[in-house]
Structure 1
């Protein structure tokens, strides 16, 4: 079969179908109503190039990606969430957000990592297509200017020691001084993450020092297949949406079970239910009213309803506005009906 006729398809938890044409590395998102036209698409085109993101510098760690190959990442509020690590921040996992214009919850990306400028320049000379270049803030200023002049269409992102910031807007237009200074002051979302095997720390009795980190605790409980303790994190912590994304990433690895581990095969249904529960949790935390009410209309299992109801009850007591409290109260009532219906 010729490469031009090969496609990779991915059905997402949100009900979308992403179809990637491998020969041209373009994709189309299909919704229940047909192909999606991303916001800001030129000529209302449904075909989108798979973003190609290069990290330049020896201190970046992209070991969780298969470099140069097609990968899929989560999307939050229309922005692709690309995790990375940097030597300056130890075991913290930071995130870069790239606009997608899509309502899909998972989209394709290709990640590259070049440790030296020479490696990057050689790749460009060999015809490697790149859309975004991520650099450390200590990258020599003169070299940065040289790259900008040589590759004006390349969208560059500067990673500050505490901040991940965009240096320019798509289209190659450099921002003014005030805009650049403002962007460097803003903080990106950072989720603490310990690279050491979670079970090793647990066995050494060091778990208490990480007890304020729900992402780490999720890893501990998932490695030991203590799924009820993962659910309990919803009540013990005020989770942020990005923390839910990382927990779902761990769940996704276990569900795919690419190493074909026997102990995971018997847990597939429970893991998928837990992942589905956290998907709904993400909608609640971001107050995605249309999406969540659509899920309520479709209904979900007793186990998931129980998990969702517990979170809604907790959130209702902590919400800031009366309007949101009313919305959560209505969701809680409808979830309770689902719970009773499936009893």
Structure 2
């Protein structure tokens, strides 16, 4: 009986040797001077996980890949070039992913799921996915839920205007540039603001979002961050720092003076939110005894409802329910 190979090796045109360990799906790139340490490597490790890239949605066409199997793609300027088709168009577009490698060819594994549930099932089969590609029509709430469930997942969003252009294009070998793809972790605020889109769809950095929304005095969108993201204590501290600077208004800006009360309410909501997130029982119950304004109570009730839905701890669930009950009385008052 023939034994299965432990490794797959590929010599590249530029003279690199890429050696993939099949059992663990990791690889090492060898140069003429020995093993390569990729840029950004943790602890200067030479071992790199083979990127697992998921395209989610019925409109993607990945028929040129053997999905779920090891493939090799070209690398240009350190970025893996991943071709795909979308929306029934014959046009071939590409996504670029940083590799940190000097090699001209690297391994990847491509997956294609048509439904979100299929993706979730796939992830439960011991597949650790690294990148998720969706288009702008993907339901926003589903995207937020996926990011909460898979916090390390890098989400790439294909802009709608690029998809629309593909339907009208007659070129069959057109290549999408990097600016045609929105990286949810590295999105440029000015690009999205100019398009009139909701920034919360594109970035998974809540501090970044808060800074942009506050700069535009979009206070309601800053509130929404509390519901769209799972904030850390550090996130809240940074956001409250922005609010404190606005309240000080050292440059005496008219816009800040006119909105001072609204900013104070927003700061109070974030102050209370961290007590909820950190489950500071005594401190929060002191605040409940003091009471909230109706506007603050409405937002705190929504946060408590979110926390109750997300918790898997029965005691915490009961605690959030009790806090909701007391807060609801303030809303109804």
Give the TM-score of the pair, scaled to structure 2.
0.50
- Structure 1 residue aligned with 2:182: 165
Q: Matches of 2:195 and 2:104 in 1, distance apart?
A: 26
After TM superposition, give the deviation of residue 126 of structure 1 in Å: 2.3
Deviations 1:24-81 (A, max 9, x none): 0000000011101111111111110000000000000000000000000000000000
Of structures 1 and 2, the larger Rg is shown by: 2
Q: Matches of 1:95 and 1:110 in 2, distance apart?
A: 15
RMSD in angstroms over aligned alpha carbons?
2.2
SS in 1 for 2:117: helix
- Structure 1 residue aligned with 2:93: 94
Deviations 1:177-219 (A, max 9, x none): 557547999xxxxxxxxxxxxxxxxxxxxxxxxxxxxxxxxxx
Q: Matches of 2:43 and 2:194 in 1, distance apart?
A: 33
Q: Matches of 1:47 and 1:151 in 2, distance apart?
A: 23
Q: Is the 8 A contact 1:95 1:164 kept in 2?
A: no
Q: Is the 8 A contact 1:166 1:183 kept in 2?
A: no
**Aligned: 1:78 with 2:78:** yes
Decide whether aligned partners of structure 1 residues 158 and 76 sit closer, same or farther in structure 2, where only a CA change above 3 A counts. Answer: same
Q: Matches of 2:193 and 2:13 in 1, distance apart?
A: 39
After TM superposition, give the deviation of residue 111 of structure 1 in Å: 0.1
Q: Matches of 2:148 and 2:108 in 1, distance apart?
A: 26
Give the TM-score of the pair, scaled to structure 1.
0.49
Deviations 1:209-246 (A, max 9, x none): xxxxxxxxxxxxxxxxxxxxxxxxxxxxxxxxxxxxxx
Which aligned runs of 4 or more in structure 1 are off by greater than 6 angstroms?
182-185
Decide whether aligned partners of structure 1 residues 21 and 184 sit closer, same or farther in structure 2, where only a CA change above 3 A counts. Answer: farther
- Structure 1 residue aligned with 2:12: 12
Structural mapping, 1:114-193, within 5 Å: 114-161=113-160, 162=162, 163-169=180-186, 177-178=189-190, 180-181=192-193
Aligned pair count?
A: 178
Decide whether aligned partners of structure 1 residues 81 and 72 sit closer, same or farther in structure 2, where only a CA change above 3 A counts. Answer: same
After TM superposition, give the deviation of residue 168 of structure 1 in Å: 1.5
- Structure 2 residue aligned with 1:61: 61
